[in-house]
Copies of this chain bind each other. A is one copy, B any other.
């Protein structure tokens, strides 16, 4: 007797802000982690600034005691994960341009969007490129084979702005308030330090 065919396992939803170092650490690992358990990943660009208004929280560096620790923890966590990292000269930064570029690319090819996303993360957190700058975002996209002029025109329009705003609003409605944030089968996991719990969930099922 054979098992009845089952529906394919649902994709993970991965929310990230391009200004989030822990988001970068997760972006470098999440697809491989999911693939180990027969899952795929939907990447969702997110803007932490939109949640700061709701939670009353703010960027890490400005918080007494916690800010200094966090800068230390970020660099050590990169080494713990075996990832290259250099503290950006300007941190944090607004990431609307990068998020909108990602979203537009994602509508054409999720794989190309992910390649751009990793390139943007590495530019910011390894090569100290300030990706809040529109020109830097266009350069990175062009380096991934994207038509620079076409993307430039898209980012100047209002449609992609509305799309990103809707994407962020949808994330908040699902409870997203940080980066990285993963939702799998309705279960939320916040932080690169929750990847071990996520992996156990994927491997053994709900615990």
Q: Which residues on A are within 8 Å of B, measured CB to CB?
A: 51, 54-57, 63-66, 68-69, 72-73, 76-77, 79-80, 172, 175-178, 188, 190-191, 193-194, 196-197, 200, 207
Contacts and interface: CB of A to CB of B under 8 A. Distances in A.
A85 to B, nearest CB: 13
A190 B76 contact: no
B175 A65 contact: yes
Contacts of A194: 73, 193
Contacts of A65: 51, 54-55, 172, 175-177
A50 B193 CA distance: 26
A207 B191 CA distance: 21
A160 to B, nearest CB: 26
Given A73-B190, A79-B207, 4 more contacts: A57-B63, A57-B66, A66-B178, A72-B188
12 contacts: A54-B64, A55-B66, A66-B177, A69-B188, A72-B188, A76-B197, A76-B207, A80-B196, A80-B200, A191-B193, A193-B193, A196-B196
